Amino acid sequence: MFFDPMYFVFALPALAFGLWAQFKVKSTFAEYSTVANSTGYTGAQIARRLLDAQGLRDIAVEAVPGEMTDHYDPKSRVVRLSESTMHRNSVAAIGVVAHEVGHAIQDAENYGPMRTRAALVPIANIGSMAGPFVFMLGMVLNAFNLALIGLVLFLGAAAFMAITLPVEYNASNRAMRLLEDHGLVTSYDAGMARKVLDAAALTYVAGLLQAISQVLYYAMILSGMRRRDD
């Protein structure tokens, strides 16, 4: 194996942004977790009200261990809320909860990008695990075609991150409209809830930037291998 300083030229900016995004989401969530929302409703109550209002009474709301582990499970059709949102009435909680309900509505409406993302999951899993290994093996063996296969495999993971971004932003936009349309936030609450959702979205931007930086790095190496072979 060898040390390539060019890797850090590609990777460090995306890595730095990713670390900042993680800090931003944690600090923003912590800040607004201490601010009670105007209605006094807990995350679980907000979720149930929003789901029922959309005719999604068959979707359950369940607790899941941990903090910031909230998610919508499309297979089980369950909105799972972490301990930091389930039973709390903070502004941060209602923003996160409404976001997950937004995913449930996307699922109910067969939202195209969400369906595409679901279809890419197995490809992304294989690409993220096998792609770098196959690429590095191609480099070690000086086998251009093998390294190219590794890049193509990893592109599946990059495509997954690319389609994830609009899905998440759409869920956040739906969340804010739902809260406002059903009178569950004041303008003061809405501003703080939006900050929580915007901070969370940065982590998806960071994931996409990291994937793009790795693709560009692989492409640069492949270009060099091609020139040596010519």
Query: Residue 229: what pLDDT?
Result: 61
Query: Residue 226: what pLDDT?
Result: 74
Query: Residue 1: what pLDDT?
Result: 46
Which residues of the chain carry a pLDDT beneath 50?
Answer: 1
d(C-alpha 63, C-alpha 176), whole Å:
22
Q: Which residues contact 35 (CB under 8 A, 6 or more apart)?
A: 90, 91, 92, 192
Domain ranges of the chain: 5-229
| Active site residues per annotation | 100
| Model pTM above 0.85 | yes
Query: Residue 230: what pLDDT?
Result: 56
